[in-house]
């Protein structure tokens, strides 16, 4: 099998008034194409920070990736420019957040949150993205076009289940499409 993701001596530190917090301190591993990775550990051990570091989503300041390499599909993604990492992130590599319910933006409709990703990563026009979002959320009984409203726990769960199903379908489709070109989506989980 081909190595798809290789993390070498990754170190992410947070610089605070109280001192330096070494949240990730020398993490290394490899993930072959077609494999699944689950990061397991105690609360606060650096699982989420590791995954956020791979995606270059660490807030700076106070956090900073101070050392290491993250090789994804043949390139060190810690060294690519912001435009390139935005193209990679969410399209070719993604993270399923630990608390997905808080990932929904209560100011935007569920539909807009889905269409934004479809427009950005799949280059769909607004009309096609709206049609696809409607198909994705219909099984959950959530309307993608309703005005923003407070999200109840029940609504969040239904939206999240719908989103999870669409991600699974997308991953299956993308995996079969990308296998022919030598790469497939990777999802670090925290």
Distance CA 89, CA 166 (A): 17
Fold of 3-100: Rossmann fold (3.40.50)
| DSSP 3-state percent helix, strand, coil across the chain (nearest 5) | 40, 25, 35
pLDDT in tens, 54-87: 989 898 889 999 999 999 988 999 999 988 888 8
pLDDT in tens, 141-181: 555 555 555 555 666 666 666 656 555 555 555 544 433 33
Band (pLDDT 50/70/90 cuts) for residue 88 is confident
Band (pLDDT 50/70/90 cuts) for residue 110 is confident
* Domains of the chain by residue range: 3-100, 103-179
């Amino acid at each position: 099998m081909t190595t798809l993701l290789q993390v070498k001596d990754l170190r992410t530190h947070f610089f605070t008034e109280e001192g330096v917090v070494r949240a990730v301190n020398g993490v290394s591993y490899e993930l072959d194409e077609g494999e699944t990775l689950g990061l397991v550990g105690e609360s606060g051990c650096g699982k989420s920070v590791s995954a956020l570091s791979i995606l270059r989503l660490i807030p700076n300041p106070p956090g900073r990736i101070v050392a290491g390499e993250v090789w994804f599909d043949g390139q060190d993604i810690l060294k690519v420019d912001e435009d390139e990492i935005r193209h990679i992130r969410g399209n070719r590599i993604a993270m399923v957040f630990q608390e997905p319910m808080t990932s929904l933006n209560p100011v935007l409709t569920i539909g807009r949150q889905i269409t934004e990703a479809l427009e950005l990563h799949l280059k769909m026009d607004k009309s096609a993205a709206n049609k696809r979002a409607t198909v994705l959320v219909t099984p959950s009984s959530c309307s993608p076009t309703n005005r923003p409203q407070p999200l109840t726990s029940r609504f969040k769960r239904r939206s999240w289940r719908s989103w999870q199903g669409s991600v699974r379908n997308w991953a299956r489709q993308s995996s079969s499409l990308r296998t022919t070109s030598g790469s497939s989506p990777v999802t670090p989980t925290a």
